[in-house]
């Protein structure tokens, strides 16, 4: 348990609360047993609830997992009374919160506002790895490395999708916090809560820009791959047409029948071979002039 006491608010920060911590919270603040039960483990969904003397809400934000190459969900639970703000977090959130310094003269609402702004700023910084990868794909796309680019795009699209699921679900939570927060803190809280909605929307808009960019790069990469495939297929088709007539000629002359022309003449093999070579050269020149080869 980490406690920081300011002039107008006390911030209590708990990581993976123990039974002793949960018992202390219930005795000290008289939180509902259902809320205490919620704090034992990470929750399945976000929520905002207002009780008589406190406000409770669950907030999710993305953290990039370099090993898995995708964003994962981290959770922070807020319990806010008139003079205390309690945060409960689990795996992943510690490194984000350790750099946060609450305002010394702030109220619990001020601390909550600054903390969520801190998390939103962190989310924007987390977008850098997506932006850098998108820019890298844009630079590599015309370097005849379509297979490698496609693999990068696939991993990046998964990361963007995971990130997008997390941050888009923040929108309803912030709107719910605006409605319930005004009832809890009064009309003066509206400007702060609306600011959080606007800042979160900026993150969503940036992410949508990157998602559209990588979709465009994927289309371009697919077109380049299709051009290469079509070129190869065209070459093989031309070679098939080029060799088929002379395979037929070779098959005819291989038949053991009477009255076969040329067969039996001196140098018959070289005559037939020469006819086939000249014919193939002529067809190749014709295909090339037509642009088929």
Q: Following DSSP, what letter does each residue of 161-174 receive, concatenated?
A: HHHHHHHHTHHHHH
Tens of pLDDT along 94-126? 888 888 888 888 899 999 999 999 999 999 988
Give the structural domain span for 238. 229-290
Residue range 173-186: mean pLDDT, rounded: 94
Residue 159 sits in the same domain as residue 269: no
Last residue of a domain, one of 227, 245, 265: 227
**Residue 64, H or E segment:** strand 55-65
Per-residue pLDDT at 21 exceeds 90: yes
**In angstroms, rounded to a whole number, what is the distance separating the alpha carbons of residues 77 and 94?**
13
Residue 156 sits in the same domain as residue 216: yes
Last residue of a domain, one of 176, 201, 227: 227
Per-residue pLDDT at 4 exceeds 90: no
Q: Tally the domains of the chain.
A: 2
Q: What is the pLDDT of residue 248?
A: 66
**Selected residue with higher pLDDT from 253 and 83:** 83
| pLDDT tier, 293 (very low <50, low <70, confident <90, very high otherwise) | low
Per-residue pLDDT at 276 exceeds 90: no
Tens of pLDDT along 27-44? 999 999 999 999 998 888
Residue 192 sits in the same domain as residue 280: no
**In angstroms, rounded to a whole number, what is the distance separating the alpha carbons of residues 244 and 41?**
71
What is the percent of the chain with per-residue pLDDT over 90, rounded to a whole number? 51
| pLDDT tier, 290 (very low <50, low <70, confident <90, very high otherwise) | low
Residue 222 sits in the same domain as residue 255: no
Q: What is the CATH number for 145? A: 3.30.460.20
Last residue of a domain, one of 227, 260, 277: 227
> What per-residue string of b and e applies to 204-223 under the rule 16 or more CB within 10 Å gives b?
eebbeebbebbeebbebbee
Measured N-to-C along each axis, helices 190-253 and 268-290 cross at an angle, to the nearest 10 degrees, of 150
Q: What is the CATH number for 234? A: 1.20.58
Tens of pLDDT along 195-223? 999 999 999 999 999 999 999 999 998 88
Residue 151 sits in the same domain as residue 101: yes
Residue 51 sits in the same domain as residue 121: yes
Q: What is the pLDDT of residue 212?
A: 95
Residue 256 sits in the same domain as residue 210: no
Residue 278 sits in the same domain as residue 144: no
What is the percent of the chain with per-residue pLDDT over 70, rounded to a whole number? 87
Closest CA to 48 of 138, 194, 180, 152: 180
91 contacts 18 by C-beta, under 8 angstroms:
no
């Amino acid at each position: 348990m980490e406690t920081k006491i300011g002039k107008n608010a006390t911030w209590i920060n708990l990581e993976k609360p123990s039974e002793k911590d949960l018992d202390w919270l219930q005795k000290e603040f008289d939180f509902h047993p259902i809320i205490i039960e919620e704090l034992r483990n990470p929750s399945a969904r976000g929520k905002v609830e207002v009780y008589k003397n406190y406000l409770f809400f669950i907030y999710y934000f993305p953290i990039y997992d370099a090993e898995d190459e995708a964003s994962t969900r981290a959770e922070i639970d807020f319990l806010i009374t008139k003079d205390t703000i309690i945060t409960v977090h689990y795996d992943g959130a510690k490194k984000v919160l350790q750099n946060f310094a609450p305002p010394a003269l702030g109220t619990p609402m001020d601390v909550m506002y600054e903390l969520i702004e801190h998390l939103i700023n962190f989310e924007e910084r987390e977008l850098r790895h997506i932006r850098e990868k998108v820019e890298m794909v844009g630079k590599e796309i015309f370097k005849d490395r379509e297979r490698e680019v496609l693999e990068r795009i696939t991993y990046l699209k998964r990361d963007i999708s995971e990130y997008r699921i997390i941050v888009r679900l923040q929108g309803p939570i912030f709107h719910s916090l605006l409605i319930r927060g005004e009832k809890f803190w009064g009309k003066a809280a509206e400007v702060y809560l609306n600011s959080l909605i606007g800042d979160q929307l900026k993150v969503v808009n940036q992410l949508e820009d990157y998602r559209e960019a990588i979709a465009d790069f994927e289309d371009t990469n697919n077109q380049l791959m299709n051009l290469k495939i079509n070129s190869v297929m065209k070459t093989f088709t031309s070679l098939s047409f080029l060799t088929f007539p002379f395979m037929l000629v070779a098959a005819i002359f291989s038949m053991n029948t009477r009255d076969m022309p040329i067969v039996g003449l001196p140098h018959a093999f070289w005559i037939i071979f020469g006819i086939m070579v000249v014919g193939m050269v002529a067809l190749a020149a014709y295909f090339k002039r037509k642009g088929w080869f």
